[in-house]
Amino acid sequence: MERYFHPEIECAPVEKLRAMQNERLVKTVKHAYENIPYYKNLMDLKGVKPEDIQSVEDLHKLPFLTKDDLRDAYPYGLLAKPLKDVVRIQSTSGTTGRRVVAFYTQHDIDLWDECCARALMAVGATNEDVVQVSYGYGLFTGGPGLNGGSHKVGSLTLPMSSGNTERQIQFMCDLGATVLCCTPSYAAYLGESIHERGLQDQIKLKAGIFGAEAWSEEMRRDIEQKLGIKAYDIYGLTEISGPGVAFECSEQSGMHINEDHFIAEIINPETGEVLPEGEKGELVFSCITKEAFPLLRYRTRDICVLSRKKCSCGRTLIKMSKPMGRSDDMLIVKGVNVFPSQIETVLLNKGYPANYQIIVSRENNSDKLEVQVEMMPEMFSDTIREVAAKEKELVDAMKAMLGIYAKVQLVEPKSIARSEGKAVRIIDKRNLYEN
């Protein structure tokens, strides 16, 4: 039996949803224009006034927002509420320039929790379930988001956070966890670890909600088989709230977008032109219920397809495909967002030329990041020990910049292939996206 957290919305006639979106969009544009000087300026530059936006049809008139705007306006420049009304921040990894800080009023947290509650109920969770949340807690949105959703459903919530696999498995067995929330790579790793310990029979899991990084259908089958569960996808990003912007239902083919809170568009990433439903392009979101951080036409850089085809679960909310790639060069390694420019900054700061290559692979369901850097010619006569010390210095600097370990290998000068056009900086061997 299909379960819904808010059936009147999730299964509402499309016209009803559209009317709700129109009303909320008009309100949010006015709110953003009046309370965010940075955004008012962008609208003024484009010659758009709040009155020009009367419905979703007018959305295309608004300027786009990008990560660069978030950087320019860091930290408070896109905040639409006085600090006294704001109760929380969440953030992505990365150093100041790349870090995204999102703000929430209590109302914003409540609606985010509801989005996650919808995702949990869509995989069958009820107040009789035991939900193990093994996403990271803290600044990352994964833990707090699913934690809030689980509370809303009334499930017993295990706020495990990530890591400490031994303890994860012990709690899972002892407390009889029935729903697992974590990254797909960690789910696969947990599955393997449970098998290694011969504990399959003690696991009561029936479903899992996995997202925050790309994963293939093959990986889904692997996780389902190892953990004896149904594995569902969940999508979101810090800028827009966190997990629960979209979630999978029993059909397991694409994720329903919570359209009463977020309007989705697909654009051509080169030209910014809005593409018709069914065409592949970059996903753009407008938040229409948020108070503190109501981003409008935010470019996610995720490439996907939208579809309003009838879904067997009964929901009428539009669906997005699994992301099929990115329109920028961001990598997600061990769930952490990594930009090649951060790696380049470390190298340049340490005096290395920008001749490097980033190699990402996955071994035993765990991501490995390696950076090959050309030595400076004068290092050529260094002893092995001296080279190792320089590699260690770079490893430490990368760790400080990225927050994760990257193996660094110093290679001979001129040994990294030069390209005639755009440098090929990234070799991603993981084949994450299925096109």
Question: Among residues 212 and 263, whose Cβ is nearest to ligand DLL?
Answer: 212
Which residue sits closest to ligand DLL, CB atoms considered? 211
Q: Rounded to an integer, what distance in angstroms lies between the CA atom of residue 41 and that of residue 47?
A: 10
Q: How far is the CB of 326 from ligand DLL (least distance, A)?
A: 6
Q: Which is nearer to ligand DLL, 238 or 258 (CB)?
A: 238
Residue spans of beta strands (DSSP E) within 238-334: 242-248, 255-257, 262-267, 281-287, 298-304, 306-307, 319-320, 331-333
Q: How far is the CB of 149 from ligand DLL (least distance, A)?
A: 11
Looking at 101, 111, 122, 142, which residue binds ligand DLL (CB under 6 A)? 142
> % helix / strand / coil in the chain, to the nearest 5?
35, 25, 40
Q: Which of 214, 257, 306, 369 binds ligand DLL (CB under 6 A)?
A: 214
Instruction: Rule CB under 6 A: say whether 247 interacts with ligand DLL.
Output: no
Using CA atoms, how far apart are residues 105 and 87, in angstroms rounded to an integer?
Answer: 5
Number of residues that bind ligand DLL (CB under 6 A): 22
Given 105, 132, 134, 300, the residue binding ligand DLL (CB under 6 A): 300
Q: Which residues in 321-360 contact ligand DLL (CB under 6 A)? A: 322-323, 332, 337
Mutual angle of helices 340-349 and 384-402, in 10-degree steps: 130
Contact 164, 172 (CB under 8 A): no
* Cβ at position 347, least distance to ligand DLL in Å: 24
The residue within the footprint of ligand DLL, chosen from 141, 250, 286, 357 (CB under 6 A), is: 141
- Contacts of 210 by beta carbon, 8 Å cutoff, 6+ apart: 181, 182, 183, 184, 187, 223, 231, 232, 233, 234
Task: Report the relative pairing of strands 130-133 and 101-104 from DSSP bridges.
Answer: unpaired
> Angle between the 184-196 and 165-174 helix axes, to the nearest 10 degrees?
80
Q: Nearest distance from residue 319's CB to ligand DLL, in Å?
A: 13
Say how far apart CA 404 and CA 277 lie, in whole Å: 38
Q: Name which position in 129, 213, 222, 367 contacts ligand DLL (CB under 6 A).
A: 213
From residue 364, how far is each of 191, 219, 372 by CA, in Å? 11, 12, 22
Closest approach, Cβ 375 to ligand DLL, in A, equals 34
**CB closer to ligand DLL out of 227 and 347:** 227
234 near ligand DLL, rule: CB under 6 A:
yes
Contact status: 242 vs ligand DLL (CB under 6 A): yes
Give the DSSP letter string of 406-424.
Answer: -EEEEE-TT-SPP-SSS--
Q: Whole-angstrom Cα distance, residue 347 to residue 354?
A: 7
Contact window for ligand DLL (CB under 6 A) among 4-12, 118-126, 232-240, 312-320: 232-240
Q: Give the Cα separation of 141 and 338 in Å (integer).
A: 16
Q: Cα torsion at 190, 403, 142, 363 (round to 10°)? A: -30
Residue whose CB is less far from ligand DLL, 113 or 233: 233
Residue 243 interacting with ligand DLL (CB under 6 A): yes
Which residue in the set 302, 316, 352, 358 belongs to the binding site for ligand DLL (CB under 6 A)? 302
Task: Map the footprint of ligand DLL across residues 96-135, applying CB under 6 A.
Answer: 135
- Which of 10, 69, 113, 233 touches ligand DLL by CB under 6 A? 233
Give bridge partners of residue 248 from the DSSP assignment.
255
- Residue 291 in the binding site for ligand DLL (CB under 6 A): no
Nearer to ligand DLL, 227 or 237 (CB): 237
For binding to ligand DLL (CB under 6 A), which residues are involved?
92, 135, 141-142, 211-214, 233-238, 242-243, 300, 302, 322-323, 332, 337
